Amino acid sequence: MSRKLGGNILVTGTNRGLGLELVRQLIQVTSNKDHIYACCREPEGSGAEALRELANENPKRITVIKLGINKLHGSAPLSATGGCGMMEVYQVNVVGPFLLAKHLLPHLKRAAEQMSLKHGGQGGHMSCRRSAIINISSLLGSIEKCPENFHIAPMYAYRTSKAALNMMTRCQAEDFREHHILATAIHPGWVQTDMGGKEAPLTSQDSVQGMLSVMSSLSDKDSGNHLDWQGNSIPW
Ligand SMILES: NC(=O)c1ccc[n+]([C@@H]2O[C@H](COP(=O)([O-])OP(=O)(O)OC[C@H]3O[C@@H](n4cnc5c(N)ncnc54)[C@H](OP(=O)(O)O)[C@@H]3O)[C@@H](O)[C@H]2O)c1
């Protein structure tokens, strides 16, 4: 992969699963000048050992940040989903990413402007190298695909939260286009993580490699869209 990703990159949920693998691979595909901010709920906890090890090996390139929101019970079926469960999942999957992007907006704007100055103030195209928000979504948030896959994952809270995250991505894309900040939702595939389970067909390494390749090629036409880890468009 060519060096199309770089700058200051913030990743959430980095103590395990896809977040941890993203940090691992980002260290490899970005340069020594680039910096990864790795967010995690309990950086000192036993579940963050691998992340601490990675950060210790790359002290000048990784900063671990304590960041968390609420409990998550997204996979519960109808019978086990109440109002609190719905709200908790919405908090984690929608409100969290919303607040994060809102608070980081000044930095995202500055990054986009700096790239514009480098190109003589010409504006230029959007890209992850310039300034971007990538929301990790899910095929299960696709309303059109629901009849095909509801029976294998009858998760009300998770599905509705990811559909809302997709709408939020679309809003961000419209809102921030004038600032040249790209916003795209990416489905990582069904992946062997604690969430995806052992029977999932994809390893986190392959999923992240695919997602980083997709991210490195994103441009204006992709902002506001929902793509999978191979770059295929997912219907709303
Ligand atoms: N795996 C799949 O097949 C699959 C498919 C489609 C979409 N996705 C999406 O991909 C993303 C990553 O999933 P994954 O498979 O890597 O899951 P995972 O292995 O279960 O890891 C989840 C990560 O999110 C963190 N997290 C959970 N609740 C949090 C909260 N309230 N505040 C802050 N951090 C929290 C966890 O931290 P703790 O260790 O502290 O709990 C952990 O780092 C998710 O958005 C998921 O919806 C996954």
CATH of domain 76-199+221-236: 3.40.50.720
Question: Could you tell me if 129 and 4 are in contact, meaning their C-beta atoms sit under 8 angstroms apart?
Answer: yes
Question: Within 13 Å and on the Cβ side, how many CA atoms surround 105?
Answer: 13
Structural tokens at position 151: 């029976």
Q: Tell me how far apart the alpha carbons of residues 33 and 6 are, in angstroms, rounded to a whole number.
A: 8
**Nearest Cα residue to atom 23 of ligand 1:** 13
How far apart CA 107 and CA 109 sit, in angstroms, is 5
Ligand 1 atom closest to the Cα of residue 42 is: 40
d(Cα 226, Cα 141) in Å, to the nearest integer?
Answer: 10
Check residue 73 and give its pLDDT: 61
pTM: 0.94
Interhelix angle 204-217/17-29, nearest 10 degrees: 60
Which residue has the least CA distance to atom 40 on ligand 1? 41
Query: What pLDDT, on the 0 to 100 scale, is given for residue 228?
Result: 98
pLDDT averaged per 10 residues, the chain (length 236): 81 97 97 96 96 97 89 73 91 96 97 80 81 98 97 95 98 98 98 96 98 97 98 97
Per-domain boundaries in the chain: 1-68, 76-199+221-236
**Mutational pocket test of ligand 1: of 11, 14, 18, 234, the residue with most ligand atoms within 8 Å of the beta carbon:** 18
Instruction: Report residues whose beta carbon is within 6 angstroms of any ligand 1 atom.
Output: 13, 15-19, 41-42, 47, 68-70, 72, 92, 136, 138, 187-188, 190-191, 193-196, 200
Q: Whose CA is nearest to atom 26 of ligand 1?
A: 13
Which pLDDT score is estimated for 2? 47
Name the nearest CA neighbour of 108 among 178, 162, 167: 178
